[in-house]
Chains A and B, each alone.
Chain A
Amino acid sequence: MRRGPAERHETSTERPEDFDAFWSAIMAEAATIPLNPSLEPVPLRSTPEVDVYEIGYDSLDRVRIAGWYCRPRASYLPPPYPGLLIVPGYISEPTLPKSWAKMGYAAVGVAPRGKLRSNQRYNPGYPGLLIDNIVDRHTYAYRGFYVDACRAVDFLLSRPEVDPVRIGVHGSSQGGALTVTTAALRSDAIRCGAAGAPYLCGFMDAAELTHSYPYEEINEYLRLHPEREPTVRLTVAYFDGVNFAPMIRCPMLVYVGLADDVCPPETGYDLVKAMRCSVDLHAYPRCAHDAGVYWEMPKIEAFLAEHLRPAAYTLHAEPTVG
């Protein structure tokens, strides 16, 4: 296969004129919904260093969102702690961010709607999420999904042991996408973000560049309904990371694999070109959807530690998977 250099790619994503208004209205609607946070200790998964909790909170459409909350025991590291939101990949369940908590973070692993434990009222299935109501931006799957991740920031802000001026976000693949959207929509609270192999950037370009799932869901849908292409293109423009990028104000780290068949690297470059914040881009030749995490993980830890200053930053986290 032959492709041009990823850095020379030009996105076909256009920013709708009412993009900001669209999201302002959604975030305003979300703000009217009480968070109603819950916190249940999970002794089975706690360790001498880390307390584990199962958490819940209300989000858009009153969907109850689940997550894991891991924080250092006060006897191991005293509060306050920087907060860290770990956002999941498309087919992954959120892992328990115990290794991040051991480093000194109060860390949430969130399960946005449709994921296990958050799927009682909304369950489009996998595959399926990417194209659920993709012809209508007002009911498209990611409208609530993005807000669910943002509300995890509110959960962290509700915790007295969390330092509200030290909150970051990190994930890869769909987690990379949610890192971008959360940093954009909660630019008031997020101090830094590390996004690997960012998905949901340049949706339509990506679907043209790959036959790997999840983007292949769009190809399948348009093979069956080719006449809906303009409507699909319009919908996803409202959810495109490239269009969220200019809203980010905090420092960002983006890393991509130059042979990523899942989230084409061209779209990672398009994302970075659209950012107005301070951003470091690390691109790994011959790496695929791993995005070079074997080499990148220490850099992610150092980047987050530089901005969030956890107490035990010399320890290491589990490698991030999308």
Chain B
Amino acid sequence: MAEDAPATRPPDFEAYWTRVDDELARYPAAPAQDYNPLRSTAFAASFDLRLTSIGPYRIFGFLSVPEGSGPFPALLVTPRYGSVNNPPHDDDRRRYVVLTLMHRGQRLADRPFAAAFPGLLTEGIEDPNAYVYRGIIADCVRGAEFLHSLPEVDRDRIGITGDDLAIMTAARRPIFAALHVQTASLLFYRLMEARARTSSYPIEEINDLLRAHPEREPAVARTVSYLDPLHHAPRVRASVLLPAGDPGALDGPEWLHPLADALGGQTETYGVTHEGGTDHDWIDAWMARHLGVDLRPRVWRID
């Protein structure tokens, strides 16, 4: 059963994001794709990638391209909440062109802005036009555009994985065949409701701010409403995998129900087992099926 619903979509939602698109279009990506011998293997070449996003701001990506004759299916990994993202995993590098992005403020994209953790989630949050996540979404969209432009990429087989950033990127650029949402890491989904149900960081950053400045709640609520995946979901065209946690949890099935209903693409839910190996292999298989590659399970057989 769906829970009460959620935050209102701002009346100028489309105009807000159109302005971001327009601003991004004014800056050429100016890619610098430098071969990285340390991370290259016999089966995949590795590159340090730098792109320009709005600001203008220079962002970073780990790019891996399989050896051999493409085009290859591709995978965009949007940044997690934290200062560091790992380079692409060996299992993915064997099957996909993989781009793992570092948004502004994260390591390797931390000049001139080095984000604080905790702190990023509330950076500029009282003004939608100054909020740091306006730029971060643009960073992810820029990465999607770049991946889509690569001649090595099969444009009909591009997948994306990540938290809200992946949903918003898939909504702004409907180039993806498959979207895996890391539901346990959602930041902006029904955020003003979610914050009342948790004291865990990073959402606790909002509680910290509003405990000190309760009068700022309307402004904060307005800003984050532009980022609520619920309002982006109808534009998603990809097939979507929504892993669902325990009933009653912030990634539980009833909590996710409005999002599942709103998504424009065909949506499948998966009840997580909390066995990390089992869950990984199920999700890996889902993405592999949608992008037409072999499965690479990590749960090994014990002889």
Residues of A within 8 A of B (CB): 1-6, 43-45, 47, 91-93, 95-96, 98-99, 116, 125-127, 211-214, 216, 220-221, 223-224, 257-261, 284-292, 294-295, 318
Question: For the complex, would chain B's binding face be called helix, strand, loop or mixed by DSSP majority?
Answer: loop
A58 to B211, CA, bound (A): 33
Can you pick out 11 interface pairs between chain A and chain B where the beta carbons lie within 8 Å of each other?
Answer: A3-B300, A91-B83, A92-B82, A93-B117, A212-B89, A213-B87, A216-B87, A224-B37, A288-B275, A290-B274, A318-B200
From known contacts A126-B84, A288-B277, A288-B280, infer whether A5 and B208 are also in contact, taking CB-CB under 8 Å: no
Q: Is the CB of B298 within 8 A of A126?
A: no
CB distance from B81 to the nearest CB of A (A): 10
What's the Cα separation between A45 and B212 when bound, in Å? 9
Complex CA gap A223/B90 in Å reads: 14
- Contact in complex: B209, A286 (CB < 8 Å): no
Complex contact A213–B89 (CB within 8 A): yes
Residues in A neighbouring B247, C-beta threshold 8 A? none
- Is the beta-carbon distance between A288 and B82 smaller than 8 angstroms? no
- In the complex, chain B residues whose CB is within 8 Å of the CB of A45: 118, 208
Q: How far is the CB of B281 from chain A (nearest CB, A)?
A: 9
A259 to B87 Cα, complex, angstroms: 21
Q: Residue B41 at the A interface, CB < 8 A?
A: yes
B302 touches A3 (CB 8 A): yes
Q: How far is the CA of A99 from the CA of B107 in the complex (A)?
A: 28
The one of B85, B91, B298 in contact with A288, judged by C-beta atoms closer than 8 angstroms, is: B298
Docked complex Cα distance between A46 and B266 (Å): 43
Determine the distance from Cα of A91 to Cα of B298 in the docked complex, in whole angstroms. Answer: 21
**Chain A residues closer than 8 Å to B303, beta-carbon distance:** 2-5
Chain B proximity of A145: nearest CB distance (Å): 15
The distance from the CB of B104 to the nearest CB of chain A, in whole angstroms, is 15
| A286 touching B116, Cβ below 8 Å | no
Taken together as a complex, chains A and B put the C-alpha atoms of A261 and B300 apart, in Å, by 9
Contact B208–A44 (Cβ < 8 Å): yes
Interface of A is mostly: loop
* A290 to B89 Cα, complex, angstroms: 17
Closest chain-B Cβ to A121's Cβ sits at a distance in Å of: 15
Q: A4 and B302: CB pair below 8 A?
A: yes
- Contact indicator per residue, chain B 261-303, by CB within 8 Å of chain A (1) or not (0): 0000000000001111110100000000000000001111111
Report the minimum CB–CB distance from B56 to chain A (whole Å).
23
B39 is an interface residue with CB less than 8 A from chain A:
yes
Residue B15, interface by CB 8 Å: no
**Distance between Cα atoms of A125 and B107 in the complex (Å):** 7
**Are A127 and B275 in contact (CB-based, < 8 A)?**
no
Using CB atoms, name the residue of chain B closest to A209.
B300
Give the residue name and chain of the A residue nearest to B300 (CB): A1
| Pair A259/B86 contact, Cβ less than 8 Å | no
Q: Are B107 and A220 in contact (CB under 8 A)?
A: no
Complex Cα gap A6–B90 (Å):
22
Contact in complex: A223, B275 (CB < 8 Å)? no
- In the assembled complex, the CB of B67 is this many whole angstroms from the nearest CB of chain A, namely 15
What is the interface residue range for chain B against chain A? 35 or more
Chain A CB within 8 A of B113 CB: no
- Residues from chain A with Cβ under 8 Å of B275 in the complex: 259, 284-288, 290, 292
How many angstroms from the CA of A95 to the CA of B302 in the assembled complex? 36
The digit string for B85-98, where 1 denotes a CB below 8 A from any CB of A, is: 11101110000000
- CB neighbours of B199 from chain A (8 A): 98-99
Q: Does B108 contact A (CB under 8 A)?
A: yes
> Nearest-CB distance from A285 to chain B (Å)?
8
A265 to chain B: closest CB distance in Å? 10
| A91 and B85 contacting across the interface, CB-CB below 8 Å | yes
Interface centre among B84, B90, B107 (most CB of A within 10 A): B84
Is there contact, CB below 8 Å, between B276 and A259?
yes
| Separation of A110 and B230 alpha carbons in the complex (Å) | 36
Nearest residue, chain B, Cβ from A259: B277
Top 7 nearest A-B pairs by Cβ distance? A259-B277, A288-B276, A211-B90, A290-B276, A294-B274, A1-B300, A91-B84
Query: Taking A92-B82, A126-B84, A318-B200 as contacts, is the C-beta distance between A259 and B300 under 8 angstroms?
Result: yes
In the assembled complex, how far is the CB of residue A9 from the closest CB belonging to chain B, in whole angstroms?
11
Would you call B201 an interface residue if the criterion is a C-beta within 8 Å of the partner chain's C-beta atoms? Answer: yes
Residue of B nearest to A211 (CB): B90
Known: A1-B300, A4-B303, A126-B107. A116 touches B117 (CB 8 A): yes
Enumerate chain B residues within 8 angstroms of A289, measured Cβ to Cβ. Answer: 276
Interface residues of B in 101-119 (CB under 8 A from A): 107-108, 114, 116-118
Contacting residues, chain B, for A216 (C-beta < 8 A): 87, 90
Q: Are B117 and A211 interface neighbours, CB within 8 A?
A: no
| Cross-chain contact B212 with A1 (CB below 8 angstroms) | no
Bound together, the chains give a CA A31 to CA B199 distance in angstroms of 38
Query: In the complex, which of the residues B38, B204, B212 contacts A224, with contact meaning CB atoms closer than 8 Å?
Result: B38
Contact of A116 among B83, B201, B204, B211 (CB under 8 A): B83
Query: Across the interface, do B209 and A44 meet the contact criterion of CB distance under 8 Å?
Result: yes
* Whole-angstrom CA separation of A295 from B278 in the bound complex: 15
Bound together, the chains give a CA A224 to CA B303 distance in angstroms of 33
Residues from chain B with a CB closer than 8 A to the CB of A3 are 300-303
Q: How far is the CB of B290 from chain A (nearest CB, A)?
A: 22
Among B37, B118, B300, point to the contact of A2 (Cβ < 8 A): B300
Q: Which residues of B contact A96 (CB under 8 A)?
A: 118, 201, 204
With A3-B301, A3-B303, A288-B280: A95-B201 Cβ-Cβ less than 8 Å: yes
Contacts of B298 in A (CB 8 A): 1, 259, 261, 288
The verdict on A220 contacting B82 (CB below 8 Å), with A96-B201, A211-B91 known, is: no
